[in-house]
Amino acid sequence: MPTFPDRTPRRRSRNPSERTRKTTTRLSDAEKAEITAAAKQRGVTVARFLAAASLSAARGTTPVHTNEQLDTAIDELAALRTALARIGNNINQIAYVHNTGGQPRPGDLDHTLTTLLRLLARVDDTADTLVKKRL
């Protein structure tokens, strides 16, 4: 995307009856800085940038992710992390038995590896779902 470093954003002329409503938005310092930088990069005012981005989302041309989607994704990732930790623990136990000269119980390693492969497929599915929601 081209940048316009030397261009000062200017107000556009408009019909006085157009855009008479004002909306205030609360932003963190980081959000404000990011939005200001994006507007500057595009050579528009922050208000114009916010209006264009909001209208794009409202018209469905840019997806807006709800907190519910984010919460669901976080819950899924937390569950996957817990499952991976359990599998890692099982593999460590099997390795310990093997390294001390013992034999793991029949089927332990196969079961653990099958569970790991199933979990990795779930990680892939979750990642694919999250990527598709972003598009």
Instruction: Using pLDDT thresholds of 50, 70 and 90, give the confidence band for residue 131.
Output: confident
Residue holding tokens 């709800």? 66
Q: Average the pLDDT over each of 54-68, 75-89, 117-131 and give the range with the smallest value.
A: 54-68
28 with 96: CB under 8 angstroms?
no
The pLDDT value recorded for residue 100 is 94
Residue 87 has pLDDT above 70, yes or no: yes
Percent of the chain with pLDDT over 70: 79
Residue 131: HSE in the Cβ half-sphere, 13 Å Cα cutoff: 6
Q: How far apart are CA 8 and CA 52, in angstroms?
A: 18
Q: What does the pLDDT look like over 7-44, one tens digit per residue?
A: 555 555 656 557 778 888 898 999 899 989 988 888 88
Q: Is 102 helix (H, G, I), strand (E, B) or coil?
A: coil
Confidence at residue 71, expressed as pLDDT on a 0 to 100 scale: 72
Lookup: tokens for 126: 């979750």
CA 39 to mean position of chain CA atoms = 22
Mean pLDDT score, 129-134: 70
